[in-house]
A and B are shown apart, each in its own frame.
Chain A
Amino acid sequence: MIELAHVAFGYGKRQLFADVSLALNEGDFFFLTGPSGAGKTTFMRLCYLDLLPEKGSLKLFGNEARDLSRDQVALTRQRIGVVHQDCQFLEHLSVVENIALPLTVGGRDVPLGDMEELLNWVGLADHRNALPAQLSGGERQRAALARAVMMDPDVILADEPTGNIDWEMSQRLLTLLLELNRMGKAILLATHDLALIRQAKSQASTRVLRLAGGELQAAGVDL
């Protein structure tokens, strides 16, 4: 679904990746780790076409990224659910409207039953009509995850979705992601949370990738 081959990228003159390759396919569950500043967020931005590689090939659902028109980019993004590290809400809309936003802009109906279930699962049922600015950091992340999965995407990219969340709630979110993964969705989750990775490994076959020094490697088995 997402395929990077020999991708190079840097901001300005500063090279971040020289030669990165990865294939994320249906049913894959990958963790992305690495020190702060290694480029995890940048890697994700490449995957949802916010950035284009300088060299190498980046293919989404079989299409070369740099050949996509703006409309095709939009349609591709409708198949990728993203939890941004900084959440990215429309501050004038309520929580529930933000969660429904990908469906709204895609011209799709909002399945009310699913919305209700999802709001309960992420613990935001009581905050549905709040504005994003009225949420705590953890609540924002839960809302962002709800928005990412609401539109039933083929791929979910989550950038530290449990950064501000207590252990119990992050277990719930992991359960949700594992459930979606079992339905065939590809998941790439950037996190520093080793306990979360261990928890996931005990329940499903996941791979851990480590981004450091401009290279992407399979992490050791000691996790």
Chain B
Amino acid sequence: MSAPGIDLSTNDIVPPSGFTARLTLFTSAAMAFLAVFAVALSLASTQLATRWSDAMARTATIRLSAPAGQVEAQTRAVLAALETTPGVASARALSDTEQQELLAPWMGTNLPIDTLAIPRLIEVVETAQGFDSENLRLRLSAEAPGAVLDDHTRWRRPFIAAAEHLKFIGLVSVALIGGAMAAMITLAANSALAANAQVIRVLRLVGARDIVIARAFVRRFSARALVGALVGAGAGVVALLLLPSVSGAETIFDGLGFSGSSWFLVPMIPAGAILVAYLATRFAALRMLGRMA
């Protein structure tokens, strides 16, 4: 006859406790749910920032409308001004043929360009730093009154900055969620240890080292945190998938969710939860056991 029940694993040496178990489960589920959104927000704003800055070619255009006799002189003045403007990499006036090609889709090919008062176009390529458009406008109005600076994509810059900021907020949120979870689990672990003072005394009397006792608590809490985080992250993903699609519009909603390689971030959330729970419980348990000596 065998003796059943003595293949006792060391985590069973502490009794299960309902209250701290539920607290840990709930906390990690809630935190994982929130983490899904924080990560999704970060991802979406990263994508948005990248898309916008790619689209924003670092070019601007100067339109020059002047009486026929002054066009050449003012073009030279504009180019001279651009040459000495910081932040301008290069600049050139488009040729008649190029301008004709640009207009062809609207006007047809046999447009008598020299007889029409079509503005001359000057293409400006910026350096990475970009130029100060207000200064350039002032200079142009002095040196070439017919020139108008059109930096068409500049309006997007604050949006890119905002997207970057949003991404940062998302990352900070993930860190805060992790910290809050660590704090809650530390509290739960401390209360579990305090509630089991008598169990700990008996374990010590039979020769259990602190690390053996701590491990029993750590395994319990890590397992609960993992289960909670799986449920929470799952619910978070489902909630994201239920978001009505608004693709096409270049908005934050467009990238909100997981796609392709970003899916690998989803299992990172329960993995992070179990790591946080492991470290928090281990630290709390060893410190508490040291104090209970």
Contacts and interface: CB of A to CB of B under 8 A. Distances in A.
B10 A105 contact: yes
B3 A119 contact: yes
Contacts of A71: 209-211
A75 B5 contact: no
Q: How large is the interface on B (under 10, 10 to 19, 20 to 34, 35 or more residues)?
A: 20 to 34
Nearest to B16: A92
Contacts of A97: 5-6, 8, 12
Contact of A50 (B12, B205, B208, B211): B205
B202 to A, nearest CB: 5
B2 interface: yes
A101 B199 CA distance: 12
Given A92-B15, A96-B5, A104 B209 contact: no
B206 interface: yes
Given A90-B199, A104-B13, A105-B13, A74 B207 contact: yes
A43 interface: no
Contacts of A91: 15
Interface in A105-123: 105-107, 110, 112, 115-116, 119
B6 to A, nearest CB: 5
Interface in B223-273: none
B204 interface: yes
B2 to A, nearest CB: 6
B56 interface: no
B293 interface: yes
B142 interface: no
B205 A82 contact: yes
A77 B209 CA distance: 10
B79 interface: no
A129 interface: yes
A97 B4 CA distance: 9
Contact of A116 (B3, B5, B10, B210): B3
B212 interface: yes
B55 interface: no
Contacts of A77: 204-207
Interface in B272-293: 290, 293
B73 interface: no
Interface in A132-173: 147, 151
A115 B2 CA distance: 10
Contact of A70 (B8, B10, B209): B209
12 contacts: A48-B205, A70-B210, A90-B15, A93-B8, A93-B12, A96-B3, A97-B8, A101-B8, A112-B3, A115-B3, A116-B1, A129-B4
Interface of A: 48, 50, 70-71, 74-78, 82, 84, 88-94, 96-97, 100-102, 104-107, 110, 112, 115-116, 119, 128-129, 147, 151
Given A75-B207, A88-B202, A115-B3, 12 more contacts: A71-B211, A74-B208, A78-B206, A88-B201, A96-B5, A97-B5, A97-B12, A104-B13, A105-B209, A105-B213, A112-B6, A129-B5
Interface of B: 1-8, 10, 12-13, 15, 199, 201-213, 290, 293
